[in-house]
Amino acid sequence: MSDVPVNLLDFDLDALAAWCEALGEKRFRAVQLFRWIHQRTESDFSAMSDLARSLREKLTARACVAAPPVLRQSEAADGTIKWLFDVGDGNAVEAVYIPEDDRGTLCVSSQAGCAVGCRFCATGHQGFSRNLTTAEIMGQLWFAERFVRQRLGVAERVISNVVLMGMGEPLQNYRCVLPALRAMLDDHGWGMSRRRVTVSTSGMVRMMERLARDCPVALAVSLHAPDDALRDALVPLNRKHPIDELMAACRAYLQHAPRDFITIEYCMLGGVNDAPEQAEALIALLRRHSLRAKFNLIPFNPFPLSGLERSPQERVRAFAGILNGAGIVTTIRRARGDDIAAACGQLAGDVRDRTRAAERMARRRTIPLHLAPTA
């Protein structure tokens, strides 16, 4: 084994058991260790009192349990907390804790930057730097849980739900996201039910099929447009997997999903995708594909240089009204942590673009989007 300590947050239970086996330890020891790490958020091996002293010493010499260092922490008036984590090489990613009456949700990042390059997303404008490791993904959850527990002075779980809706496209980092999901679901780990863990995707059709097979958690799909012409302009991935293909993949996912609907996210952009006719077109689209879905309308969160506008509240309400009127349950996402820029698409840690995505985005900004007819 090398001298660099192994970060045990990198492992799901099977991988931890295999690692422990290489140390000459039985699986039940890995189970105990996994529970200490994920259920009690312990990082000090010497405090893991039911492990043999010899094992604790081996662990101290070879392993660690560590979240990425925190560069900045901001707390909003409504209790939302945002952390900026340093993931090295000048890259930083964010996680956001959102307390509500009946739950605590953590929004987690999966990549430093994002290669999909959606027109309305601050992360997309930064371009892509690299995939996060499983330890960096789990580290956000582990750190946030530990922090909030200490803050509230409680020993029991505070984060009940996880959404992979931070920076990055989780299904473009499947190899590292999958063990993280498994640790979240494992009864010896976080023990979350599949409906409390949501993967949000911009429409990676092939990977949706794999997720359905491997670990079918709740799925949210970022649609943002009722037709291919507009979606091509907003979500470049659409040129590879057009809407009909995406809708078919959603239907197939439903055979495995923990709920009987898919959540469709729709970022409301003034004069672009918020016209009543576009709501009607969405209704027709869902009917054509017999897809059971709930809509989550996200008022656009502006960021510098986006060149786009938030839909006026009235228009968002009218849009929701049309969808609801057709029997499609539609909610409007409440902005949380407004005063600390913690909202969707505003998560903009520093990311070193190692691609030319930033330049591409700058060029694309000069191409006007067609404006939807106003009501």
- Rounded to a whole number of angstroms, the minimum distance from the CB of residue 344 to ligand SAH is 3
Residue 94 is a catalytic residue: yes
Which residues within the stretch 152-211 sit at the binding site for ligand SF4 (CB under 6 A)? 168-169, 202
Minimal CB distance to ligand SAH: which residue? 345
According to the binding rule CB under 6 A, does residue 124 interact with ligand SF4?
yes
Contact 173, 111 (CB under 8 A): yes
CA distances from 194 to 136, 162, 251, 363 (A): 21, 10, 18, 41
Q: Give me the least distance between CB of 39 and ligand SF4, in Å please.
A: 30
CA angle 332-116-200, nearest 5°?
40
Question: Is residue 300 close enough to count as binding ligand SAH by CB under 6 A?
Answer: yes
Residue type, 253: Y
- Of the pair 8, 114, the CB lying nearest ligand SF4 is at 114
Tell me which of ligand SF4, ligand SAH, none is bound by residue 298, counting a contact when its beta carbon lies within the kind-specific cut-off of 5 to 8 angstroms.
ligand SAH
Mark whether 344 is an active-site residue.
Answer: yes
- Binder of ligand SF4 out of 114, 180, 316, 372 (CB under 6 A): 114
Q: Which amino acid is at 333?
A: R
Region near ligand SF4 per CB under 6 A, out of 120-128, 137-145, 147-155, 349-357: 120-128
117 binds, among ligand SF4, ligand SAH, none (CB under 5 to 8 A by kind): ligand SF4
Touching ligand SAH, residues 331-350 (CB under 6 A)? 344-345
Alpha-carbon gap, residue 318 to 315, rounded angstroms: 5
- Of 272, 337, 334, the residue nearest 119 (C-alpha): 272
Count of positions (residues) in the chain:
375
Q: Are 190 and 38 in contact (CB under 8 A)?
A: yes
Name the residue nearer to ligand SF4 (CB basis): 202 or 296: 202
Q: Which residues are paired to 99 by β-bridges?
A: 104
Catalytic residue among 94, 136, 145, 265: 94
**Rounded to the nearest whole angstrom, what is the least distance from the CB of residue 311 to ligand SAH in the complex?**
11
**Residue 199 backbone dihedrals phi, psi, to 5 degrees:** -100, 130
Give CA–CA dist 304/287, Å, rounded: 37
Q: Does 118 bind ligand SF4 (CB under 6 A)?
A: yes
Q: What is the DSSP string of 67-93?
A: PPPEEEEEE-TTS-EEEEEE-STT-EE
Which residues are marked as active site? Answer: 94, 344
Binding footprint of ligand SAH on the chain (CB under 6 A): 120-121, 165, 169, 200-202, 222, 265, 267, 298, 300-301, 344-345
Binding interface with ligand SF4 (CB under 6 A): 114, 116-118, 121, 123-124, 168-169, 202, 222
